[in-house]
Structure 1
Amino acid sequence: MCGRFALTLPAEAMVQLFGAAPANDLPVLPNWNICPTNAVHAVLSEAGTRHLASLRWGFLPVWYTSPSDGPLLINARAETVAEKPAFRQAARARRCLIPASGFYEWTKDGAGNRLPWYIHPREGDLAAFAGIWQDWTSAEGDTLSTCAIVTTQANEALGPIHHRMPVTVAAPDWGLWLGEAGHGAARLMRPAPDDLFAAHRVDPRVNSNRAEGPELIEPFGG
């Protein structure tokens, strides 16, 4: 799964990188500890135009009567995303890219303590996670744009840390995932190459969703 991530690249740089028009309500950056239900940056493509938008991380099916009506859907499994009633329409028609500088996963020591790891691209400043999105409307008529990160089986390099990882879309395939380049996005839902990411232990302070600061992603030897 992917339950926390970081994004440190300025919005202006992502606008240029993705060729996307920015929304006016983008979340504040940098953010070293992005948590479920936070607003996240996402690249959408509508009518051939890309937008850098703000979405709530936590996908809301249309039948939810409130944001807390059911399970918090922050991830969608690649193996079933096209079949699950909550996700299948979005998987076909509302795919997005969710930029990240890296993400966190946890192992446990012999005493059961949670040991956080920061996983980040070996080269470059950014990964683009596959996502799906959907507008949810409350009974009062308020609209909330929401998303989930698509995950798949971990590759051999990251398997010892966690059995799942985000689907990561390479730059040449961005258009295919966004629906700009025809059909075939399903073939992108596979583990990343073993050499794409590096991982190191980080301070257990990140176990708290209130922790902040660049030191959260620094190597930790304790």
Structure 2
Amino acid sequence: MCGRFALTLPNDAMAQLFKAAPANDLPPIANYNICPTTQIHVIYRDADQGNSQRRLVPMRWGFVPHWYKTPSDGPLLISARAETLAEKPAFREACRTRRCLIPADGFYEWFRPESGEKLPWYIQPAGEGPMVFAGVWQEWEQNGTRLASCAMVTTQSTGRMAEIHHRIPVILQPQDWGKWLGEKGHGAARLMQPAADDTLTFHRVDKAVNSNRATGPELIKEIDA
């Protein structure tokens, strides 16, 4: 379902690619081991007072529903299932009005053989350009404290990905970014499909990435499977 990912695209390049106004407090780049509860790069459409400007901002990876008394008041919601997105109380309003894009170079997933420990794989686009996950976001506020948070939307894996893990993030193609953000009318639900095998590449990486303290480009280096 993607519990870690990597991003190396510079902030100014992201702002240009997504035609988004960048915030001043974006997380450092590059990061080869982005973990839940940290601040990540998110693109959303600012519809406040009719403004349709895209914005590139930091958000906590771990969706915080409005009824949580603290950000850790309940389960850590780093992902939202596409199949139930419109029904779950935590996500149903966000899926209608607060959808976002989450850029990445690629993501890690762990496969467990019938016997033995979990083995990490790195999944990235087969072509050029970043990988862009579908997301939903929420602004939480309690006692004067405000926090913007998000979750990735996931769906059932197919093909090669299904051999590694049964869930995969919904990956959006450039022509679909505007529709997911609500800029091009209805139809976002039809985008929540698994990526085809020929759009992704897969390779084994070292178990060093198992540690959330691990850093550096060696984490995505291919090793013999």
Give the TM-score range, shorter chain.
over 0.9
Q: How far apart are the structure 2 equivalents of 1:150 and 1:111?
A: 30
1:70 aligns with 2:74: yes
Cα separation, partners in 2 of 1:20 and 1:62, compared to 1, 3 Å:
same
Query: What letter matches 1:32 in structure 2?
Result: Y
Greater helix percent: which structure? Answer: 2
Q: Aligned runs of 1:88-103 on 2, under 5 Å? A: 88-103=92-107
1:125 aligns with 2:129: yes
TM-score with structure 1 length normalisation? Answer: 0.97
**In the alignment, which residue of structure 2 is the partner of 1:44?**
44
Task: Structure 2: give runs of 5+ residues left out of the alignment.
Answer: none
1:15-46 per-residue CA deviation (whole Å, 9 max, x = no partner) reads 11100010011000000000000100010111
**In the alignment, which residue of structure 1 is the partner of 2:211?**
208
The partner residue of 1:85 within 63, 83, 89 is 89
Q: Aligned runs of 1:1-222 on 2, under 5 Å? A: 1-46=1-46, 47-138=51-142, 140-221=143-224
C-alpha deviation, 1:108, in angstroms: 1.9
Query: What letter matches 2:148 in structure 1?
Result: S
Q: How far apart are the structure 2 equivalents of 1:128 and 1:210?
A: 24
Q: How far apart are the structure 2 equivalents of 1:39 and 1:168?
A: 20
Q: How far apart are the structure 1 equivalents of 2:138 and 2:83?
A: 19
Q: How far apart are the structure 2 equivalents of 1:196 and 1:155?
A: 13
1:124-181 per-residue CA deviation (whole Å, 9 max, x = no partner) reads 131110000000012x211000000000011212110001100011101111000111
Q: How far apart are the structure 2 equivalents of 1:96 and 1:124?
A: 21
Higher mean Cα deviation, 78-87 or 108-117?
A: 108-117
Q: Is the 8 A contact 1:119 1:199 kept in 2?
A: yes
Q: How far apart are the structure 1 equivalents of 2:12 and 2:4?
A: 23
Q: How far apart are the structure 2 equivalents of 1:110 and 1:173?
A: 38
Q: Secondary structure at the match of 1:160?
A: helix
Identity of aligned residues (%): 61
Query: What letter matches 2:127 in structure 1?
Result: E
Query: What letter matches 1:141 in structure 2?
Result: G
Query: What letter matches 1:2 in structure 2?
Result: C
Q: How far apart are the structure 1 equivalents of 2:178 and 2:172?
A: 10
1:168-204 per-residue CA deviation (whole Å, 9 max, x = no partner) reads 1110111100011111100000111221110100010
Q: Is the 8 A contact 1:9 1:125 kept in 2?
A: no
